[in-house]
A = this chain, B = another copy of it.
Amino acid sequence: MATSIKASVLKEIRNGSDHVSGQELCDKLGVSRTAVWKVIKQLQAEGYDIEAVTNKGYKLLSYPNILSGSEIMSRLSTTWAGQKVYFHKETESTNDDAKYLAEEGMDHGSLVVADCQTAGKGRRGRAWVSPPGEAIYMSLLLRPDFSPDQASMLTLLMAISVAEVINGLFPDLKVNIKWPNDVLVQERKVCGILTEMSAEPDYIHHVVIGVGINVNQKEFPPDVEEIATSLRLCHGEMIDRVQIIVGVMEYFEYYYGIFTERGDVSDFVHIYDGYLINRGREVRVLDPKGEYTGVAEGINDKGELIINLPDGSATTVASGEVSVRGIYGYV
């Protein structure tokens, strides 16, 4: 559940350069000394090394590598994205949780995060394997006031956000996006995005963007090890999941602001295309009307993939399945 006092205390002592007095915390957060004291005790029990000095106050000396709502909220510098975190040690599906909470009135920008999913979902009802302790499973709730046909572009904004975070943290790694909603590192999948919406034909009730990121897995099952990887496998060291979540929220909020002002992705076409693994490669499009191949050029302002066909003409793909030669076993 949203744990705002704990997150607020943590944020204050995290940001304070020196000791932060108990009284200062009470005044700032509008809570009692007892409440502050209880929260400090809880945080210490969770592994936060908090020094308490009489007449000086509290100082955060070090913090554990844990995934929790308070930890995420205390490190965010966004205005709305992720400002309310609903954390579950285990849940069926963070997208389903977010959809349920959306019906209950959960705010725009609320974020459901889980350490483990027992019924994780991929696109079109496929399963998304979600073991505990190693990956990120999160779902961001949005209440946009644009029309349903623009919702597909949100997937692209999220893909860019994830790519930018990984690229920023690990500049040595090769980060790509496979249109529309996979993020790849070293040409293997580290992230999938599942955008779901509840809408009237011309009016969005809410959108939930689910993001699964392979962070600390040390191995993958044989059937996917050629296709998937984790940041740890590529980078070689254990990675702090909260840092990634916080980064994604910050990038997403930034891009979402520009997108809603613009109404399209024209301002990000160059960034997206820069990551696009499809670009210049042969792609196979599984269209309901028939399969065809061509060479992907990039995306247009609506986020559609532009494909140059063998006959010299060009077409665009708005949605669906596009395989890229050389990726995921397509030879």
Which A residues fall within an 8 A CB radius of B?
A: 123-125, 147-149, 151-152, 154-155, 194-203, 205, 318-320
Q: Are B203 and A152 in contact (CB under 8 A)?
A: no
- A202 to chain B minimum Cβ distance, whole angstroms, is 3
Q: What is the copy number of this chain in the assembly? A: 2
Q: Are A123 and B200 in contact (CB under 8 A)?
A: yes
Q: Are A199 and B199 in contact (CB under 8 A)?
A: yes
Q: How many Å lie between the Cα of A200 and that of B126 in the bound state?
A: 13
Tell me the interface secondary structure of chain A in the complex.
mixed
When C-beta atoms are compared, the residue in chain B nearest to A151 turns out to be B201
Chain B residues within an 8 Å CB radius of A197: 197-201
- A207 to chain B minimum Cβ distance, whole angstroms, is 9
- With A147-B319, A148-B148, A319-B147 known to touch, is A194 a contact of B202 (CB < 8 Å)? no
Q: How many Å lie between the Cα of A104 and that of B220 in the bound state?
A: 32
Q: How many Å lie between the Cα of A200 and that of B151 in the bound state?
A: 9
Chain B residues within an 8 Å CB radius of A151: 201
When C-beta atoms are compared, the residue in chain B nearest to A96 turns out to be B103
When C-beta atoms are compared, the residue in chain B nearest to A318 turns out to be B202
Chain B residues within an 8 Å CB radius of A319: 147, 201-203
- A38 to chain B minimum Cβ distance, whole angstroms, is 39
